[in-house]
Structure 1
């Protein structure tokens, strides 16, 4: 009898739920954060029906409350390669390459996530995964000690490796194997308060960079934050203060807008947690570590290369004008400068669409079923509205103006290097503003990964093109 395999989307969903439950137990303040985000989202949906309708049209409404992204930091190429294989069981693929070294964080990263709209709506769980760049540690002796410490650890259970191999051999997991996989995979991300390194080595690593200490100093890549998605990050930021949850000073990313773009992020400050460091007698001595926190994100429309170029230019302009890294002391001034810099960035979806600044779904509206009277006037025929997904710009503009086609924003599923660095720095209590020397090296990262990373812009372009083709086929069927 042929085995019945569990869909990878379902395994990913079950794992994300288990991860969230574990993290709430480990960091109770994260549970308070989820409650606050749920309150804010409910209020937005009740007061702004147009946002509810948009989320219904794009299929995001059901995923909103289960949306999470996490972040982990790995130490070796072998760890990254096996992590890729682990995430593949859950239908998660490496998307994008992020070099954080220029922002004084010695890692390069990718995001593991689903890559098609339906799978994302089934379970939008993502994990921002960073690989420590040991080549950026200037102290050669310390670098060798770090390498030795990392080579002495094994972050995966034997059972999870066996299940990964089983998945690869047979092309899926049965229900029993899937349940066991979730249980075993969770162990890789669990917090361990007993460290495999001495307090002296930890302090030396910490003096280099807080993230280096966080990676090298522990048994495994504990999940260092989980992130619910909010529809109003400014309300959550204010709500954290009101509830006694200490927020970071700056919301990272673009300013508040009528039509959100890309990604805005904030977090509560990292917790100081008691840990036990290994000593030379085989026992432990007490200490503390600060790294784990709770993050919140507000996602907007994905931008095209043209839109990203404009975004990067305006963000750079704002930061250059401020002259220093945004922080608690200059937050109000920074927000004012940022909003002013982004005045030239269109803030309505139609203009973003017409100027080719963002990606959109094309959907045949409810009124498109009766097209007979509009056919000749709008040119909705086999030549202008082909099943291959091509249409003249003028015909498209006419159909949108007549309400036959609606455009809905494709949500940005990925990350922003400057924002990620800002979150990392604020929660590692690292005040260094210098950048690491050394070239960005995507090829080296992909060699360690054992695969190419997907280009996120190509994925958005493909989703947009697929939606256009499906939309035109539907219009043709009514023509």
Structure 2
């Protein structure tokens, strides 16, 4: 909304992500060190790799590279999930995708709140991966009742934040003063509190059931458990972390290194052990809790349904051949298996486009614009591309991967947290708790691709392209 006197959701999101980053640097100084390493690595890539630099400049990605980061939170109740959705709506963020992590032994299901239109993403790509604890998977009835009792007592939003959300919903926007107040009030939901809301014995019971359950239930709110900068070379980051005193996880999650990156590759440093005070310790911080960590991501091309099916097939084949959860002991073998199986996935953009494996953004070339007045102009998309009148670049993948997310969670929760749950994917129940349907991310990529083709049609004065 661009109503005079009001601040657009894109601008609120941009300001909030900066404030969140500043807060997390204060809370987790090692994150600041990680950001420095990412910045140095990105500059090295831009200086040494003209192809990457040209691509980023052509697509405008260079303008948002330093803004690229996502956060992750975990909420405990349907009411918290529904209200966090209202909070993110103030920032123009909608729930995209459904992720079931129970198959990897993590008792949550999730969505990602983000902007959905390419122009809004260009303004600020900030995303928050948001997970809801699945109480139905706690088979100990007594413990489940304890969790419900604890969560029922807490309020994770400040009174003023709730009032500003209501004001936004009534007016459709916030003015500058309210927007700044909203950012500061919303930050309180994501702030770390060393004071737990449970006794040491209760914490142990929650922790023994699953570390993540303790993290969700035992504190005043869903503290941000990591923020994630975007790198142009995650392998270089993985190698460079130890020199900065940072211990990386053993395996980079996602596809192997490629000439044409696809989807999402992620790594992280191990979760920090932080002092906490339980309610029976007179506010003396003599307990400990491990949950918050640093994560880094390298984003590649968004895959079509056909491309995603091929990706899943190859990934599953590599993991099946490995025969166990990827970890430090088998990291080298797992990497070799990924490289071997992903040789079946084309690694140049011409083939990726021809085979319909990747979504692309199309735009008129200078030649195409200059040729608009010629008597002969090709009309089909393929003719226009062949004649050099239209160029294309892959759409950046803006979302997440369930297997990768679970791998990040598990590496920071510990191998002993690899529980097995009888529960199954339950998107319908998640959407009921959320209060709305989640958006299919593939539809969004297809819409962006289609809009780019229609814009080419308009500029080049040719019939609509599909």
TM-score range, shorter chain: over 0.9
Q: What do residues 218-267 of structure 1 show as CA deviations (whole Å, max 9, x unaligned)?
A: 11000000000001000011110222211000000000000000000000
- Residue 71 of structure 1 aligns to a residue whose secondary structure is strand
How far apart, in 2, do the equivalents of 1:432 and 1:129 lie? 20
Residues 238 and 4 (structure 1 numbering): CA distance in 2 closer, same or farther, change over 3 Å? same
- Residue 191 of structure 2 aligns to a residue whose secondary structure is coil
- Alpha-carbon shift at residue 126 of structure 1 (Å): 0.2
- Alpha-carbon shift at residue 398 of structure 1 (Å): 2.6
The answer for the alignment partner of 1:229 in structure 2 is 230
User: Does the alignment pair 1:131 with 2:116?
Assistant: no
Instruction: Tell me if structure 2 keeps the 8 A contact 1:225–1:292.
Output: yes
Instruction: Tell me if structure 2 keeps the 8 A contact 1:278–1:284.
Output: no
Q: What do residues 350-387 of structure 1 show as CA deviations (whole Å, max 9, x unaligned)?
A: 111110001000111122122269763x633xxxxxxx
How far apart, in 2, do the equivalents of 1:59 and 1:466 lie? 17
The answer for the alignment partner of 2:446 in structure 1 is 461
How far apart, in 2, do the equivalents of 1:61 and 1:150 lie? 43
Residues 71 and 397 (structure 1 numbering): CA distance in 2 closer, same or farther, change over 3 Å? same
How far apart, in 1, do the equivalents of 2:244 and 2:374 lie? 55
Q: What TM-score comes out, normalization by structure 2 length?
A: 0.96
Q: Which runs of 5+ in 2 are unaligned?
A: none
The answer for the alignment partner of 1:384 in structure 2 is none
User: Does the alignment pair 1:202 with 2:187?
Assistant: no
- Alpha-carbon shift at residue 140 of structure 1 (Å): 0.6
The answer for the alignment partner of 1:427 in structure 2 is 412
The answer for the alignment partner of 1:311 in structure 2 is 311
The answer for the alignment partner of 1:81 in structure 2 is 82
Q: What TM-score comes out, normalization by structure 1 length?
A: 0.94
- Alpha-carbon shift at residue 397 of structure 1 (Å): 2.3
How far apart, in 1, do the equivalents of 2:239 and 2:39 lie? 14
Instruction: Tell me if structure 2 keeps the 8 A contact 1:95–1:454.
Output: yes
RMSD: 1.5
- Residue 220 of structure 1 aligns to a residue whose secondary structure is coil
User: Does the alignment pair 1:259 with 2:260?
Assistant: yes
Instruction: Tell me if structure 2 keeps the 8 A contact 1:210–1:430.
Output: no
How far apart, in 2, do the equivalents of 1:24 and 1:265 lie? 20
Q: How does 1:323-334 map to 2 (within 5 A)?
A: 323-334=323-334
- Residue 406 of structure 1 aligns to a residue whose secondary structure is strand
Q: What do residues 194-218 of structure 1 show as CA deviations (whole Å, max 9, x unaligned)?
A: 1010111111111111110000011
- Residue 41 of structure 1 aligns to a residue whose secondary structure is helix
Aligned residues: 461
User: Does the alignment pair 1:443 with 2:444?
Assistant: no
How far apart, in 1, do the equivalents of 2:392 and 2:31 lie? 35
Q: What do residues 311-344 of structure 1 show as CA deviations (whole Å, max 9, x unaligned)?
A: 0000000000011111111111110000100000
- Alpha-carbon shift at residue 57 of structure 1 (Å): 2.2
Residues 11 and 247 (structure 1 numbering): CA distance in 2 closer, same or farther, change over 3 Å? same
Q: How does 1:390-429 map to 2 (within 5 A)?
A: 395-429=380-414
How far apart, in 1, do the equivalents of 2:116 and 2:62 lie? 18
- Residue 79 of structure 1 aligns to a residue whose secondary structure is helix
Instruction: Tell me if structure 1 keeps the 8 A contact 2:112–2:129.
Output: yes
- Alpha-carbon shift at residue 76 of structure 1 (Å): 0.2
